[in-house]
Structure 1
């Protein structure tokens, strides 16, 4: 259960104290809310729209129906289109797929990092050589 002060704050943000916050032990409740408030709802380097897409992607990747539902609705509040929602989930799926391949095939981490550095360098060179839009 959250403290009286935190309860009032949550009700101001969300209109109610959700059951998932109420289910937390008292020792974790206030701190858990503060993390959600500051990171997910607070002003950070990412926009609310970007955070909603990241959260939806993570929720889809970990296959959490609760988080997927919440963050889909959150993204809609940020005017994310159905096409953008689908793309975010597809990107998460792509990452999960290749993570499975990399782990399942026991790809050498050092070799992977070296290849990645080479790819990044190649892409930077291509970007530098590309004509500017100015």
Structure 2
């Protein structure tokens, strides 16, 4: 795990390394990272990432299950890189209560997103 202190102590990133971890291990790692971030002594925004689509696991239900568990473990932002289309992005956003970051690929590369496009 890498925790970096930003130039202005108001936000940060937690990267959990190692590809797709077994579900329980991933949730445990996110929980430990959140706990460490909360003890830094300055505001920090833990971000938890579900890498399924980056590693060829096209399972939206598992991606959502992981993001929901990461949210329950305390992550402030949820990251789901490589989702296949706006419907998947919309479904993820509906399924969690935290801000979601995505990395568009494939056909989405040339798309422009707005709040209206992704609203439920």
Q: Give me the TM-score of the superposition, normalised by structure 2.
A: 0.28
- The structure carrying a bigger strand percent of its residues is 2
More contact order relative to length (CA 8 Å, sep ≥ 6): 2
- The structure that has the greater radius of gyration is 1
Q: Give me the TM-score of the superposition, normalised by structure 1.
A: 0.26
